[in-house]
Chain A
Amino acid sequence: MEARRRAATVLTYLLLIVSFAVFVFPFFLMVVNSFKNNGEILESPFSLPTSLNFGHFAEVIDKMNFFVSFRNTVVITSLSVLFIGVFAAMTAYYMVRRPTRFNNGLFALMVASMIIPFQSIMIPLIYIYGAKLHWIDAAPIPLLIILYIGFGSALSIFMYHGFVKSIPYELEEASLLDGCTRTQTFFKIVLPMLAPTSVTIAILNVLWIWNDYLLPSLVLTKDQDFTMPIKMKVFNGTYMNNWELLIPALLLTILPILIAYLFGQRYIIRGVSQGAIK
């Protein structure tokens, strides 16, 4: 028994280490190449850099207007993710607890909407909010946040939907009997219990919005509004990519979410231990 368990542990480690190598390899490539110039990158993409040259990082920070684009990305991502999370949890909760025909229909509609090819709505989108309503000119960042909430709620509701079901109804009933309103019950009882799911959903939404290129490229037209992925495109040439700047730019773009993700991990664990009490 003991030997078998040990064998299982060794096998687990082996599998994890192999997948680790495969999954992290491109990441390693990026770090290594961020210190090289174009020639070295093309000639020997896999070798270690000969020196730690931060020159390209400096150039990238300057050319990307880094601090402005970073701020824009943070504002857009955090507000969108927050609103998506709250609204989606509320809607999913209500849909599960009140499965009226309207709510079921709405749920089906939202699930179906996730498979709309984005390409098929981008022209209408810029036409309506640009030429017709002029929101693109007047308030591009709020518009972008509104659109993210709209696009993101479907998947988040879909994910919450399954997990709300697993929350025992008795707890809410007790709260309702105590005289709490439905709203209070939701925020006091249900939302905390959804914490692990919320963190997962938030992480997935952060990654999506932080890295998104297509939607902001349609909505944002002024330099002061640009997000990091948009600014990064400066380093794409007509015929070739300027790797020596593109790679450091990429690294700078993902570094904040990498850090955020490491923190998110911790919350997942905390959320898990809380969930275990139930």
Chain B
Amino acid sequence: MSINIYGGVLLKKTLALFLVLLLVASLTACGGSGNSNSAADSGGGKVNIVIVNGKGEIASQWEQAAKDFMAANPDITVEAVSGAVGETVNLLDKLTASGKTVTIAMMSPDSIVNKYKDFGVDLSNEKWNADTVYGVKDINGKIAGFPFSIEGFGLVYNKSVVEKATGGTFDPYSINTRDKLKALLDKIQASGVKYPVAYQTENWSVANHYSTQFLNQAEDPNTIVEQLKAGTFDLASNAVWNGYYDTLDLLVSKAYNKYGERPLGKYYDDAHLSVGKGESAILFNGNWAFDSLKAVSGASFGFIPVPVDNNPDNPLNNKIAAGPTNILVINKSATAAQQEAAKKFLDWLVYDQKGQDFLVNQAQVISAFKNNPNKVTNPLGVAIADAVQAGKTLPFSSNYVKVEDWGNILAPDIQKYIAQKESRADLAKAIETYYKNQK
């Protein structure tokens, strides 16, 4: 009995202590608010910067890059943070809301003209601009985005399957009209592949990537976006816009598409499995598709441009969409010293041998910089890099739209169109309505 009473008292005391500690903690924490900031300069001439990476798959490489950079720059301390993919609140918002000043943030290129239009500092006068054409401009036309990675998309094809069907080496750029694509699909079918296409219909793929391609009919895709916002661009009568959906109709048709009977579904893994193993030949995706393809296949892959019409001289039929997909932006609200340190880090990525090695060999990212001598091992990455070298690229069209809106608001309409539950006229109307509602 006495033990039990004792136990009760002891517990009471522990609780009381706990509560007091809690109160003390809250009071001291309150006192500390104001400008206490773990990322601020911490005296001694040392500068602390926080660099944020949004590509979860290169987290360990990012960490290592920070270490290598610190070794070369002993007066700078780098805190490397990596986010996981698919977090509800993005990493930058989370860290900012929690009171941290992120010095370098990784974001998608559309962000600096939309959500984070007031975030970045002007990088127009940085030396590296001489070695790339992919710097991303903010709303004032100043370069604010350092191109971290180049990626591209098109019709991914399995080389051995296609070459077996065509007999001999195959030049993907020879497919420069829709009819030639159809002829190729027929040939593949004749060679014994029942469904030449495995068309996966993820939101980001059908909306952000496929359905923004029509913007590339203008030299600067922004001009079309502006017309859409002003309500002066008529999609339904636009030949290029219609042309891309004619091609889509071909790709998802029951005759060629593995999933033709029920074109929607979670087919991402299955599509890559089919093309990887050669049970199908073609899918629409970007260079990252190789990560899935290589799991099942030792075969090689390449890109065919997405044809929009039957004019072989149309540049849209002869080029592949490629451009920066992740950019690094330096935070305006970081201190001057932090901004300088951050700029040093960007230079390190471009000019230091270790930085170049990190970018291409370690992180397997296609560099936007001419002076980087390294090559990625991914054959689809090589195809993009070659297209960049040969000048056979179109802008990465989804960089000109609000990625989130297209994936959420417009993707359902596009998927309905693919499932033949919505007419093309209705789809045109849906896109026009969306833009009318944009301020």
Contacts and interface: CB of A to CB of B under 8 A. Distances in A.
Query: In the complex, A touching B, CB below 8 Å?
Result: yes
A188 B4 contact: yes
B23 interface: no
A234 B30 contact: no
A230 B5 CA distance: 42
Nearest to B273: A42
Contacts of A180: 5
Interface in B160-174: none
A37 interface: yes
Interface stretch (B32-40, B255-263, B396-404, B423-431): B32-40
A238 B106 CA distance: 14
Contact of B8 (A38, A63, A129, A184): A184
B262 to A, nearest CB: 20
A3 interface: no
B60 A127 contact: no
Contacts, number: 121
B4 A221 contact: no
Contacts of A39: 295-297
Contact of B99 (A136, A146, A230, A240): A136
Contact of B98 (A63, A221, A233, A234): A221
Contact of A42 (B86, B87, B99, B295): B295
A225 B94 CA distance: 16
B25 interface: yes
Interface stretch (B51-59, B214-222, B299-307): B51-59
A130 B100 CA distance: 8
Contacts of B98: 126-127, 129-131, 136-137, 221
B329 interface: no
B8 A133 contact: no
- Count chain B CB atoms within 10 A of each CB in A43, A86, A139, A237 and give the residue with the most: A237
A109 interface: no
A134 interface: yes
A174 interface: no
A180 B7 CA distance: 13
Contacts of A237: 56-57, 85, 288, 291
B296 A236 contact: no
B434 interface: no
Interface string A204-236: 000000000010011001000000001001101
A214 B99 CA distance: 19
B324 to A, nearest CB: 15
- Count chain A CB atoms within 10 A of each CB in B36, B86, B94, B98 and give the residue with the most: B98
A63 B60 contact: yes
Contact of B4 (A38, A130, A131, A184): A184
A37 B297 CA distance: 12
- Count chain A CB atoms within 10 A of each CB in B32, B99, B268 and give the residue with the most: B99
Nearest to B36: A134
Contacts of B26: 133
A240 B60 CA distance: 18
A127 B97 contact: yes
B97 to A, nearest CB: 5
Contacts of B30: 133
A187 B85 CA distance: 47
B84 interface: yes
A43 B56 contact: no
A180 B57 CA distance: 61
A238 B8 contact: no
B288 A238 contact: yes
Contacts of B86: 233, 236
A40 B307 CA distance: 35
Contacts of B1: 188
A236 B273 contact: no
A239 B286 CA distance: 10
Interface string B100-130: 1000000000000000000000000000000
B405 interface: no
A42 B97 contact: no
Nearest to B86: A236
A183 interface: yes
A198 B245 CA distance: 61
- Count chain A CB atoms within 10 A of each CB in B22, B268, B288, B296 and give the residue with the most: B296
Contacts of A184: 4-5, 8
Contacts of A234: 56-57, 59, 84
A137 B8 contact: no
Interface in B1-53: 1, 4-5, 7-8, 11-12, 22, 25-26, 29-30, 32-33, 36, 38
Given A126-B97, A221-B95, 20 more contacts: A39-B296, A42-B292, A126-B89, A127-B97, A129-B98, A132-B99, A134-B33, A180-B5, A188-B1, A221-B94, A230-B84, A233-B84, A234-B57, A236-B56, A236-B86, A237-B85, A238-B57, A239-B292, A240-B269, A242-B57
Interface of A: 37-39, 42-43, 63, 86, 119, 122-123, 126-127, 129-139, 142, 146, 180-181, 183-184, 186-188, 214, 217-218, 221, 230, 233-234, 236-240, 242
Interface of B: 1, 4-5, 7-8, 11-12, 22, 25-26, 29-30, 32-33, 36, 38, 55-57, 59-60, 81, 84-89, 94-95, 97-100, 268-269, 272-273, 277, 288-289, 291-292, 295-297
